[in-house]
Structure 1
Amino acid sequence: MAKETTKSLVKKQVEEINKSAEITEAYFVGLLWSDPFNNFSEYSDTITQDEFIHDVWGFYFELGRRMYDEGIKKFDDITVHTKVKEYNIIDDFEKYGKMITIEDAVNIVKENVDNIEHYYEVIKKNYVIRQLFLLFGEKVLINKGKYDWKKMNREQLAMYWNDKVNQINLENVNRYEVENLYTDPEEFIRKLEEDSADMLPFYNSILLNSISQGVARGHVFMWGGFGNTGKSSIMSDKFVMSCIANKEKLLIVLNEEDAQSFRQKIVLSILNHEYGTGFDRKRMVNGQLKESDKELIRKAFQKMREMIDGVDSQIKIIFMEKYVMKDLEKIVRFWANRGYINLLIDTHKVSDDSQYDQRWQTFVEDMKTIYRLTRKNAGGCNLRTVVTFQLADSAIKNRYLGFDAMAEGRGAKNEASVVMMFRPCWSDEYEGEKRELDCYKLKKRSDGKGYDKEFFKLEKGKTYYLVFTPKNRFGSNNENAQPVLVIEPAFHRNAFYEKGWTFVAKDYN
């Protein structure tokens, strides 16, 4: 009798899963079809047709995925019917209701795109449950003790049953480490101090350092900007100058400008920071240097030599005519083994040896390679890695910069611990304009107890940049109260002065 009761319970659970999945899968596929360009880019490679319980939604998912892979950005009636004939799937298309079925799903959910991740997770969990059921049988759907499959997510379910298998082989494990949560507080403090000592602060940048504490070893820092806005210039001043000042070995990998062009930026930064002067960089480019310019350049190199204690090889510059990821990995590992623990890649882009049909796939997969090189364990080199990258041209109209500004390669954010991106201020954000920004800097109180906000406006006639922080594992990001940093560039000095903070409305026009 008990056995029959168990079977009846399991049958009921299976029916509930199938019924719920019919709605969830319809909503998920409907959202994919409602905005193929953005949504299929995120999910086309993370889920397969086999993971759908209901064949109808597996069919429409796979049809949409194939069209997306061909570069089709909008699934209109004519295009879909053309592709159905081309793929020779007319019978299935008609069996499942042709365009009426998918259009109904799109109309229901097209305004609820924020729920797409939830639907995705439910589908993935259902697939995990079915696979576990095949391996372990009815017990997967029977709650026992602390085990409650309905309340567990897919990772927890997989971990629970994987643990059951691991326990069988535990006695065969030669060595593993177990630590208690509680430890000696002095040991805990010592490790904290060790970790913080591995942070390399940005050069002369109190506000920028307050966001991420600098660049940590074993982590990737991504710095994004639009074309020709100064990505390389800013990182040369903030990161490269920090390596010089802290006598840190650094490997600079360039794939757009050469070493001589990069040196120009550092010369100007040193003149600005060390001597409070500079000169028009155009004279470096056209070769029309005055004798006073030449003297300043000599002073800059002399100062640089002093700062690096005469170790000319402290910073290496490598220009890659072809940005090939397998070559980059060999180069980085070679120099990392010689103590070059800091890495600047300027600029990360789609590599020339792409093995993927879609550019965004290459961009993301290459970032995974860079992270594997950077991380502390699992064969990594324990580097501090800074990667500059170009924001999508389509995002230039965005007032607020978030992950959408990374366009097709936004999945690359997963490999970085910190993602920052910047843009020039818009004309309507200056003082007296309709969208003027309320900016502020913190001023210490006369009694030494705390700070007051001192407000200011953006002054017309000057150039300002706004620095956004969409991701930050070492502090707050813009989604949880981190303000936007305001800086003022001075390219003739290769200097970027921190002016204060502001908040930008989260709109994209």
Structure 2
Amino acid sequence: MAKETTQDIAIREAKILNKEAKITESYFAGLMWSNPFDNYAVYGDTISQDEFVHSIWGFYFDLGRRMYEDGIKSFDDISVVTKVKEYGLDDEFESHGGFEPIDDAVSIVKEHSDNIEAYYEKIKKTYTMKQLYLLFGDKVFVNKDKYDWKRMNRDQLAMFWNDKLNQISLSNVNRYEAENLYIDGDEFIKKLEEDSSDMLPYYKSTLLNSISTGVPRGHVTMIGGFGGTGKSSITAEKYVMSCIANQEKMIVVLNEEDAQAFRQKIVLSILWNEFGGEYIDRKRMVNGKLKEEDKLKIKKAFAKLNELINGNESLIKVIFMEKYVISDLEKIVRFWANRGYHNLLIDTHKVSDESKHDKRWETFVEDMKTIYRMTRKNAGGMNLRTVVTFQLADGAIRNRYLDYEAIGEGKASKNEASIMYMFRTAWSDEYEGEKNELECYKLVKNKKTGEWDKKAFKLQKGKTYYLWFTPKNRFGHTNDNGQAVMVIEPMFHVNHFKEIGWCQVANDKSRRAA
């Protein structure tokens, strides 16, 4: 017996799909006619007649849509006949069998309205397969490796073949999703638990995690700081080390330093956090004048790194973009996201080197919109955990209280972020004994009551502190509605950012640096 060819498989599967489509489309059209007032309101504008494989059911669907738009709420015989004549569709209506086919469909499915979404998705998937077949031929029906078209939904199919073609830009497809506000209580709880499980906690960061519970998937987190204050170093420890510790695939996109410079930060973080406070003189790493004991520590750090990633050397990909062009960035991210890399760090986001706008801020905002579209979990997005670092405006260095005014290029970019953090160095007059001395506190658990008590402390002279602001937070409070400002002690020599406690900074725009 001759081996079945790709064409044979495609013909066989297409026949099966065509047969199933006939049933699905009749059921869907029947449900639309059985309750036109509700169903056409939901699906009337989201599917078209040419998406039906069988013209008869596309005809009945479109006829029903036109009657619904004309205000017909119930498709009785008289109303239908009147409208068919008005539309000049008498011959086509009779050629399809008149009332009989649609009446039969309505009688079969009118008690099963809950299935309409499933029928809708099957029609959409069948149409997707039809279009893919026109583009790629028989191979779309042949399962191979991880590709199984029967198990994949229409979005997964489009993403798979988009990756092959690398031409179709899903981010330009405008979609929306409608859900009932009411759902079953158990389903609501399940969704909460699923969303919580998608949170990636920041690495060994109790206080930072208490603000947002971690890095959310499907959302953009923006972290702003002034030039040279360590945005890369902070994200290396808090975010990249978390992906390493949790064995989460990640791509790190750099445009200011290369992979080797970034590795230095990770080595220092591993030595300090995983080996009880070991460290190497960072200057010797930079100038290459390592001692033998330094080399041993570095080897130990990489052995630990290999252990943490469970031997998966490709777990974290570091990509250096010599030219930061947003269209190139999107291609890179989509390529790796299609291979399971769902954590993204962009360090640093800035105005694209190939701006299409006259004003720099317009480019910054539009590029952030692109990053959001890539990140979101629906409407063509890739459901990423995205952290973006950016530089605060130079003029904001005089601002005691950091909020949206401190954004340098394009304040409207804040709309694309679900969480926004900003940090600055503590000012000299905020230290102990100075005129604007900060009242800081730690939360210490009371052994007797079990409650958390506030233990006051002051910023000590001779030390450097960062104040970590939260201007936006869809997963908790912001500074404007109760979230305290976090106090961090940066330890650059070991790439560690020690969380000290909390403080309140007055939101007084008149209190700026002289």
> Could you say which TM-score interval applies, normalised by the shorter chain?
0.5 to 0.7
Q: Secondary structure at the match of 2:407?
A: helix
Match of 2:388, as an amino acid?
Answer: V
**Alignment RMSD (CA, Å):** 2.1
Match of 1:312, as an amino acid?
Answer: E
Deviation string 1:350-386 (CA, Å, 9 cap, x unpaired) is 0001011111111000000000000011111100000
Say if 2:237 and 2:269, in contact at 8 Å, map to a contact too: yes
Stretch moving more, 300-309 or 279-288: 279-288
Give the match for residue 406 of structure 2.
405
Say if 1:255 and 1:319, in contact at 8 Å, map to a contact too: yes
Distance 2:505 2:305 in 1: 39
Match of 1:264, as an amino acid?
Answer: Q
Q: After superposition, where does 1:427-442 map in structure 2 within 5 Å?
A: 427-442=428-443
Identity %: 68
CA change 1:179–1:392 in 2 (3 A) is: closer
Q: Secondary structure at the match of 1:283?
A: helix
Q: Secondary structure at the match of 1:499?
A: strand
Q: After superposition, where does 1:10-49 map in structure 2 within 5 Å?
A: none
Following TM superposition, by how much is the alpha carbon of 1:319 offset from its aligned partner in structure 2, in angstroms?
A: 0.3
Distance 1:361 1:381 in 2: 24
Distance 1:322 1:259 in 2: 15
Deviation string 1:388-438 (CA, Å, 9 cap, x unpaired) is 000010101111100000034111000000000000000000001111100
Following TM superposition, by how much is the alpha carbon of 1:189 offset from its aligned partner in structure 2, in angstroms?
A: 1.8
Stretch moving more, 276-285 or 257-266: 276-285
Give the match for residue 444 of structure 1.
445
Give the match for residue 293 of structure 2.
292
Give the match for residue 255 of structure 1.
255
Say if 1:398 and 1:507, in contact at 8 Å, map to a contact too: no
| Structure 1 position 367 matched with structure 2 position 268 | no
Following TM superposition, by how much is the alpha carbon of 1:489 offset from its aligned partner in structure 2, in angstroms?
A: 0.5
Q: After superposition, where does 1:71-220 map in structure 2 within 5 Å?
A: 168=69, 175=120, 180-220=180-220
Q: Secondary structure at the match of 2:188?
A: helix
CA change 1:456–1:359 in 2 (3 A) is: same
Q: Secondary structure at the match of 1:313?
A: coil
Say if 2:391 and 2:408, in contact at 8 Å, map to a contact too: no
Distance 1:287 1:477 in 2: 43
Q: Secondary structure at the match of 2:314?
A: helix
Distance 1:169 1:187 in 2: 37
Following TM superposition, by how much is the alpha carbon of 1:182 offset from its aligned partner in structure 2, in angstroms?
A: 3.9
Q: After superposition, where does 1:196-345 map in structure 2 within 5 Å?
A: 196-275=196-275, 276-345=277-346
Deviation string 1:98-119 (CA, Å, 9 cap, x unpaired) is xxxxxxxxxxxxxxxxxxxxxx
Give the match for residue 21 of structure 1.
none
Count how many residue pairs are aligned between Structure 1 and Structure 2.
346
Following TM superposition, by how much is the alpha carbon of 1:492 offset from its aligned partner in structure 2, in angstroms?
A: 0.6
Say if 1:342 and 1:385, in contact at 8 Å, map to a contact too: yes
Distance 1:284 1:336 in 2: 33
Give the match for residue 29 of structure 1.
none
Unaligned runs of 5+ in 2: 1-65, 76-115, 122-176
Following TM superposition, by how much is the alpha carbon of 1:186 offset from its aligned partner in structure 2, in angstroms?
A: 2.4
Give the match for residue 464 of structure 1.
465
Following TM superposition, by how much is the alpha carbon of 1:180 offset from its aligned partner in structure 2, in angstroms?
A: 4.7
Give the match for residue 352 of structure 1.
353
Distance 2:348 2:305 in 1: 24
Distance 1:479 1:256 in 2: 33
Following TM superposition, by how much is the alpha carbon of 1:179 offset from its aligned partner in structure 2, in angstroms?
A: 5.3
Distance 1:394 1:179 in 2: 44
Say if 2:376 and 2:382, in contact at 8 Å, map to a contact too: yes
Give the match for residue 500 of structure 1.
501
Give the match for residue 88 of structure 2.
none
Following TM superposition, by how much is the alpha carbon of 1:167 offset from its aligned partner in structure 2, in angstroms?
A: 6.3
Give the match for residue 151 of structure 1.
none
Q: Secondary structure at the match of 1:492?
A: helix
Distance 1:379 1:252 in 2: 22
Match of 2:494, as an amino acid?
Answer: R
Q: After superposition, where does 1:48-63 map in structure 2 within 5 Å?
A: none
Scaled by the length of structure 1, the TM-score of the pair is 0.66
Distance 1:444 1:253 in 2: 40
Say if 2:271 and 2:301, in contact at 8 Å, map to a contact too: yes
CA change 1:166–1:385 in 2 (3 A) is: farther
Stretch moving more, 183-192 or 415-424: 183-192
Distance 2:446 2:477 in 1: 24
Say if 1:466 and 1:487, in contact at 8 Å, map to a contact too: yes
Say if 1:351 and 1:366, in contact at 8 Å, map to a contact too: yes
Match of 1:475, as an amino acid?
Answer: G
Distance 2:463 2:230 in 1: 16
CA change 1:182–1:295 in 2 (3 A) is: same
Give the match for residue 426 of structure 1.
427
CA change 1:292–1:321 in 2 (3 A) is: same
Give the match for residue 74 of structure 1.
none
Distance 2:216 2:299 in 1: 33
Largest Rg, 1 or 2: 2
Distance 1:294 1:400 in 2: 43
Following TM superposition, by how much is the alpha carbon of 1:188 offset from its aligned partner in structure 2, in angstroms?
A: 2.0
Give the match for residue 43 of structure 2.
none
Give the match for residue 378 of structure 1.
379
Give the match for residue 157 of structure 1.
none
Distance 1:169 1:196 in 2: 46
Distance 2:282 2:68 in 1: 66
Q: Secondary structure at the match of 2:209?
A: helix
Following TM superposition, by how much is the alpha carbon of 1:168 offset from its aligned partner in structure 2, in angstroms?
A: 1.9
Q: Secondary structure at the match of 1:440?
A: strand
Scaled by the length of structure 2, the TM-score of the pair is 0.65
Q: Secondary structure at the match of 1:301?
A: helix
Distance 2:67 2:221 in 1: 36
Distance 1:167 1:222 in 2: 46
CA change 1:432–1:314 in 2 (3 A) is: same
Distance 1:395 1:179 in 2: 42
CA change 1:169–1:291 in 2 (3 A) is: farther
Which runs of structure 1 show a deviation greater than 6 angstroms over 4 or more consecutive aligned residues?
Answer: 169-174
Unaligned runs of 5+ in 1: 1-164
Distance 2:181 2:263 in 1: 49
Following TM superposition, by how much is the alpha carbon of 1:264 offset from its aligned partner in structure 2, in angstroms?
A: 0.2
Q: Secondary structure at the match of 1:419?
A: strand
Q: Secondary structure at the match of 1:407?
A: coil
Following TM superposition, by how much is the alpha carbon of 1:166 offset from its aligned partner in structure 2, in angstroms?
A: 12
Q: Secondary structure at the match of 2:217?
A: coil
